[in-house]
Amino acid sequence: MGPKGEETTLEELSTCDRFTPVELAFVEYANTMSPVAKALDVLQGETNVQMGWLVPTITLLKTKLQQLNVASKFCEPLIAALLSGLEKRFGEMLTDPELIAAAILVPKFKTCWTSDENILKLGLDYIRSHLDCQAENHISDHSQSSEEEDFFSSLKKTSPLETTQQLDAYLGCPRDTVEVLKSFPAVCQLSLKLNTALPASAACERLFTVAGLIFRPKRARTASKNFENQLLLRLNKAYW
C-alpha cells in the first residue's frame, strides 16, 4: 500500500529492487483473478439469486478483464483464455432478450450495466411486448362473480399506454431497492416472473464439504449427536 492507504500499482512495484519478476507476475495474477473470484461469489451467493444478476455480472467481468489486458505484462495469455471461456460459455446468454430483460427488471441494474444500445433494445422490446401480454392475461384470468363485475370489468383494464408509462417511470426512478417495484404493479409482476429465485445446490455442497472436514478417517467413530453438534457450530461460527 502507498501513502495514505492508496493502492500501489504494478508499475510502482516494478521500480522496487525488492521484488523479483516472479513476485511481480504473482501480483499481476492475483489482480487478474480478483474480479473472477468476486464474480463467482456473486453468482454462487445465497442472497442475490435472481436470474437478472447473470448478464450484468458476466458483462462487467469481461469489461474488467479487457481493461486489465491493456496494461498486462505477464497475464495476457490467462486473460485471453478467460475471455474466450466466458464467450464460449455465456456468449449466447449475453444476447438472450429474456435474460437481458430480467437484468433490466432488477432495480440495482436497470440500464446502467452496459452502454450497448442494441443489447438494451433487445431487453426493452421484450419487456414492452410482455407487459402488454401480461396485462391482457391478468384481465382474462380475473374472476367475475356477478353481473355487476362483468359490467364494470373494463374499468379495471390496464391499457398499453399505462404499462409503458410504468416502465418509463421505473427506469427513471433513482431508487435501486427491490421495494421500488411495488410502485409499478405491471413491471413488478413481470420482474417476479423473470427473476423468481431458482433452487441451487451450492448451500448443500458447502454443508457436505464442512461435514467431510469434521468426519475425517481418524474421527470415524464420532457419535452422531457429537457430529451434528460440531457441524452446527462450524456452520454458525459467525454467531458465537
Confidence of residue 150 (pLDDT cuts 50, 70, 90): low
Flag whether pLDDT at 119 surpasses 50.
yes
For 22-79, write each residue's pLDDT tens digit: 888 999 999 999 999 999 999 887 777 789 999 999 999 999 999 999 989 899 999 9
Looking at residue 151, its pLDDT comes to: 61
Residue 71 region by backbone torsions, left for phi larger than 0, else alpha for psi between -120 and 50, else beta: alpha
Share of the chain above pLDDT 90, in %: 48
The 3 state secondary structure assigned to 148-194 is HHHHCHHHHCCCHHHHHHHHHHHHHCCCCCHHHHHHCHHHHHHHHHH
Cα 17 from Cα 207, distance rounded (Å): 46
H/E element holding 126? helix 117-141
User: What is the DSSP-derived secondary structure letter of residue 218?
Assistant: G
- C-alpha grid cell, residue 62: 469481461
- C-alpha grid cell, residue 24: 511481480
Average pLDDT of span 86-104: 95
- C-alpha grid cell, residue 206: 458447502
- C-alpha grid cell, residue 52: 437478472
- Residue scoring higher pLDDT (24 or 17): 24
Provide the 10 A C-beta neighbour count for residue 189: 17
Cα 195 from Cα 87, distance rounded (Å): 23
- C-alpha grid cell, residue 10: 504494478
Cα 5 from Cα 22, distance rounded (Å): 25
Instruction: Select from 122, 137, 117 the least CA-distant residue to 193.
Output: 137
> In sequence order, what are the residues at sequence separation of 6 or more whose Cβ sits closer than 8 angstroms to the Cβ of residue 234?
210, 213, 214
Provide the 10 A C-beta neighbour count for residue 114: 20
Per the prediction, the chain carries an average pLDDT of 83
Average pLDDT of span 113-120: 94
